[in-house]
Amino acid sequence: MITGGIDYKKELETASKGMIMIHDHMLLIKLLVRMIVRKVELRHAGMILFDPKRDAYVLAVSRGQDGEKVPENFVRFNCDHPLIRIFHEKEYKYLIDTRNALVVDDLNRLIWRESVIEGVNGTRELLHQVSEHMPMLNSVACVPAFYRRKLLAVLLLGEKKDGTKFEQDELDFFAALASDVAMAIRNARLFEDLKREAERSRNLFIQTALALGSAIEAKDQYTHGHTERVTKYSLAIARQMVSSGSVNVPAKFFENLYIAGLLHDIGKIGIPEGILMKKDALSHDEFEIMKTHSTRGAEILLPIRDFEGCIDGVKHHHEHFDGTGYPDGLKGDDIPFIAAIIAVADALDAITTDRPYRGGMSKEHAIQELVRLSGVWFHPKPVQAAVELYEKGMI
């Protein structure tokens, strides 16, 4: 389906793939309308969108040449508006079935047909009203977007710059695009609702973190319980430092530390199982791949606003105090303190638990290793706190 040099099938596939990645419904329709104006070379295009909060339809997006655009968000349509009724009410469905759209050039024919069939009636009057409103919106064609028979949006198409009329295959493309748009808008709104619910409920946030933590352990059977133990050690070390007066942190720090501990290895979801579960020492190339889990983890969490305070702990828990760690080779106090704590807790658990390539060692040995590498790999303060906890029998 190629018209005027445009491969509409290819454009539809590209647009559909792009919609899946966008979780902001307003951004989605803005990009879509801009694409239509540019690709099809229209003087104007817009989108009337149902707004659940207002229980009305609003002209949400308008793009095109100067003088062609219509003020956005100021034009409001209730369900009795002719442009909404003609798509929304089932009795008028037959008017658009043939073309998959309502086209200005067809209106006179439709009005004449209605007058012949039924005489002067409500349908004819409705068509007259639509024919008056479409030019006011700089639109020569309107394409409805439905989700489960609910009208979610109306795509407004202005004149082409070259003055040619819309061919049927173009209208079919816009109808298919509108169908995908309706689904994408619905999905985007669901995603937005979930985000709002997550912001209102810290409980849901914590449960999400726990679920992600479980996903890590499902991927790597040899670290079962690792995330919970690292989280427990991290919190104990932080509390000990506060108790001893060596640090002073805000209350929010402990929540961030808790989540970062649970998710510090989330990036391992993207590491091949052959590397995760290898019983022998990793090769240089395999280790380089393994090292990417810290940045992968940060990338996974970055789009989710609630995880902002945790990302440093996920990304930098393999930095070394002397600057020889990864991913950024941070040194000393440049290493985020949340990451420095997790690094000690992670090492403590790694040394004392069985791994594919060796058995677990005693906590006494682990503490000796932490002390030996204090100021080299590990920040001295969390190491000292771990020592104090061990001496009290608390770890």
pLDDT of 313-340, one tens digit each? 999 999 999 999 999 999 999 999 999 9
Instruction: State whether 221 and 268 are in the same domain.
Output: yes
Instruction: State whether 74 and 153 are in the same domain.
Output: yes
Asked if residues 313 and 335 have their Cβ atoms less than 8 Å apart, the reply is: no
Instruction: State whether 119 and 226 are in the same domain.
Output: no
pLDDT of res. 30: 86
Instruction: State whether 26 and 154 are in the same domain.
Output: yes
Domain boundary (136, 165, 199) is at: 199
Question: For the domain that residue 317 is a member of, what is the CATH number?
Answer: 1.10.3210.10
Instruction: State whether 195 and 209 are in the same domain.
Output: no
Domain boundary (164, 199, 234) is at: 199
Contacts of 281 (CB under 8 A, 6+ apart): 357
Domain boundary (174, 199, 224) is at: 199
Residues of the chain whose pLDDT is less than 50? 119-120
Instruction: State whether 168 and 207 are in the same domain.
Output: no
pLDDT of res. 120: 47
pLDDT of res. 35: 87
Structural domain including 279 reads 201-391
- Domains contained in the chain, number: 2
Cα(212)–Cα(262) distance, integer angstroms: 8
Whole-model pTM: value is 0.50
Instruction: State whether 46 and 188 are in the same domain.
Output: yes
pLDDT of res. 236: 96
pLDDT of res. 19: 67
Q: Is 44 left (phi over 0), alpha (psi -120 to 50) or beta?
A: beta
Instruction: State whether 188 and 231 are in the same domain.
Output: no
Instruction: State whether 228 and 302 are in the same domain.
Output: yes
Instruction: State whether 164 and 63 are in the same domain.
Output: yes
pLDDT of res. 3: 56
Question: For the domain that residue 148 is a member of, what is the CATH number?
Answer: 3.30.450.40
Instruction: State whether 186 and 296 are in the same domain.
Output: no
What's phi and psi for 103, nearest 5 deg? Answer: -115, 135
Instruction: State whether 313 and 177 are in the same domain.
Output: no
